[in-house]
Every structure is written in C-alpha cells, then in structure tokens.
C-alpha cells in the first residue's frame, strides 16, 4: 500500500499569515498516463470533506486562490498564502494512483 505521511499534524496559525502542509508518499504518484494523482481535501468542523486541489496543483472551482498545491513524485505541499478564519479545519492529502486509495493522517489548522 502507498503510505501517505503528512506534517505537521497540528498547525496553529495567526490570521493573515501563511501556512504550509507537507505530504509525502511512500511511492511515486506519477502515473504512466503522465498525470500525478495527488489530491488535497479540506474538512471544516462538522462538515463533509471537500476537494480543494487535484492532480497536485489544480484548484477546484470556488476554491480561493490563496490555496495552492505543488510538488512532484513523492513530495507535495499545500500552501495557504494568508490564513482566514474560514480555513480552520483538517486537511488531508490522498493518493489516487493505486488501490487501496490512501489518505494522510490529516493536519489540523487552527487559529492562534
């Protein structure tokens, strides 16, 4: 199985400051079709998860441009350029290259 490792697991951030979450996979997520199947999801308190980013860096419709994804191979990053109050929640990465699909442990973003 592909193991997804996120860090940090807890991220206190000051409003308006940047935040960065790392996700590392135990195997390359680059598919033979040329795509890299790394996704980021946000789960706000009491809500279902919501996709933010797919294929490393493609932002979903309606996702603020302060969210960005980057990386390649086995090393990926989600960045929030300026954290707002509505960004509080848990963020998960997920690989889509192999079954079983696997998620990172989650990173809890909270306001200091």
Task: State the binding string over 51-90 for other proteins (x if CB under 8 A, else -).
Answer: x--xx----x------------------------------
Tell me: does residue 28 bind other proteins (CB under 8 A): no
Closest CB 15 distance from other proteins, rounded Å: 26
Strands (E), the chain: 4-7, 10-13, 19-25, 38-43, 50-54, 58-59, 67-72, 75-80, 89-95, 102-103, 107-111
Among 23, 25, 39, 80, binds other proteins (CB under 8 A): 39
């Amino acid at each position: 199985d592909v193991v997804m490792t996120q860090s940090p697991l807890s991220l206190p951030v000051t409003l308006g400051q940047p935040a960065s979450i790392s996700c590392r996979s135990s195997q390359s997520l680059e598919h033979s079709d040329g795509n890299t199947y790394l996704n980021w999801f946000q789960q706000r308190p009491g809500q279902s998860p919501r996709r933010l980013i797919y294929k490393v860096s493609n932002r979903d419709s309606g996702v603020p441009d302060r969210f960005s994804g980057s990386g390649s191979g086995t090393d990926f990053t989600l960045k929030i350029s300026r954290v707002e109050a509505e960004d509080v929640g848990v963020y998960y990465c997920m690989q889509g290259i192999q079954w079983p699909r696997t998620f990172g442990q989650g990173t809890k973003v909270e306001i200091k």
